[in-house]
Structure 1
Amino acid sequence: MDLSILSKENRNNFINSNKSFIKKIITEMQKDKSKEISEEDLSIGIFAFNNACNSYVDSMGNFFNYSKVIIKNHVLEYLWKISNTPRLYFSNDTPEAFTEVTEVEKKAENKIYAKEVLILNKILKPYNLTYISIIKNCSYNKKIKDDILNIAFLCSREVFILNLMEEEKDIPIQKVALLTKYKVEFIERWKNYILALIIIFSNKDLLYLKAYLNINIGDKK
């Protein structure tokens, strides 16, 4: 990719020529794909796309895949900060490929993903967990997975939950149940998967893992 198109001199033209790309990513994240993109949503996407232009280097793989990761993370970060968050869902749709990826770019992206898995495994080690062990024991039930997703997202915003996890090397089940209004038995059954998602949501070094969760945004709870 010619990096000169990302320069500040060319930036406005480059962003304007890729607004449809930005809108597609925002639409992809919505549970209701027919919902019209609001000006606020578009501005969030444009801001993130501009950040991608500022931070991109060739070793990050395909630019548009990288910018997609940045936009998705920025949208989730925005939701993470607001008080009245919508319900989140794991999407069953295969993410659309917006551009052709070369073998070199694919290897670069796989390298970043593998690096993030190593980071996650390092964090999970004191909890006697691994990324693979959690995936193998995850529920296949869509409703359960979506409930776990929302529990983890809510807990990832609470400093007292994060501090207790760090101190106890476990999820404070009673407090999570009280915070999320889910039964203690449910939290206990799925605590390892909840814990892993909390870590992914709250760690700024796990951008690709967060984007690869393929999350849809629904209506306000």
Structure 2
Amino acid sequence: MNNIQPLVSDSGTVLKLEDKIFRIQNGDERLRNRIITNYQPFIKKVASKVCNRFIDHTMDEYSIGLFAFNEAINQYKDTQGTRFLTFADMVIRRRIIDYIRKEARSAKNYYLEQPDVDEEGQEESYIEQQAALQYYEEQQQIQERLEQIEAYKELLAEYGITFKVLSKNCPKHIDARENAKQIAKMLVEKPELAQYLKEKKQLPIKELLQFVSCSRKTIERNRKFIIAVALIHLGGFTALKPYIEPESIE
């Protein structure tokens, strides 16, 4: 059972994790230590999922995850449009995968230096290692894509949008979709508009009209689609980027 008491603001409200992260970035090292201690089970869980086996505090993968969690604390920004734990999960995964790749390369080089192994055995071992590593990376990519989709689904829900609703509100014509994508891209490139979207959970339509040539009616008709595309940009959902790339007209 975690006995760490929740941190409260001056007004007496319980601080969100993201607010605590910003306090740490402003120099609260005692809070950093509390957060890292509090989220050690989270770090172990992510490391175990990446490695597909139980990881405890004595293993190198856990140490890598611990450093990565601290790195995530330092690098997190509210402009990313995603929750801190989602961002931390991604950083931990990347660092552990980098570590596994490095270890795989080291193991390969060590094996090839052994004098008692014949060339055929070396070649077979190398091919097996490469095939295993490729399969592992493919599985990690699939897992990362699924987790990003789930995180994106949760983020959309905060704006009252579901995948079913989004499919119904997707513009039918390519030119209309491309126009909506451009509006979304322009929105996220302007900090004040992106901040409005994140705080109000609504499009800043009045402000958008100052930068686009389409009508208010067009923006309102494609409102949910524009928000959905903007959130992919803001959330850094790299696995979903193909869905917002320009489409070619046959």
TM-score if structure 2 supplies the norm length? Answer: 0.43
Structure possessing the higher relative contact order (Cα contacts under 8 Å, 6 or more residues apart): 1
For the pair shown, which has the larger CA radius of gyration, 1 or 2?
2
Tell me which protein shows more helix as a share of its residues. Answer: 2
Normalized per residue, the structure richer in strand is 1
TM-score normalized by the length of structure 1: 0.48
